[in-house]
Amino acid sequence: MKAAFLSPLVTECVDDLAAGGRGIWRVMQPFRYYSAILDRLIEVEPGFLTDYASVPRLPVLYLLFGDTSHKAAVIHDWLYHHHEVCDEATANRVLREASVADGIPAWRSLGIYLGVQIGGAPSWRADGPA
Express each pLDDT in 23-38 by its tens digit. 788 999 999 999 999 9
pTM for this entry:
0.83
Contact 17, 23 (CB under 8 A): yes
Express each pLDDT in 38-93 by its tens digit. 999 999 999 999 988 765 544 445 445 456 688 999 999 999 999 999 999 999 99
pLDDT at residue number 95: 95
Residue 12, Cβ density class (10 Å: 0-12 exposed, 13-18 middle, ≥19 buried) = exposed
pLDDT at residue number 57: 47
Burial per residue of 105-125, b for 16 or more beta-carbon CB atoms within 10 angstroms, e otherwise:
eeeebebbbebbeeebeebbe
CA distance 115 to 95: 11
Residue 16 backbone dihedrals phi, psi, to 5 degrees? -75, -10
CB atoms within 10 A of CB 43: 13
Residue 102 has pLDDT above 80, yes or no: yes
pLDDT at residue number 80: 93
Domain ranges, ordered by start, for the chain: 4-127
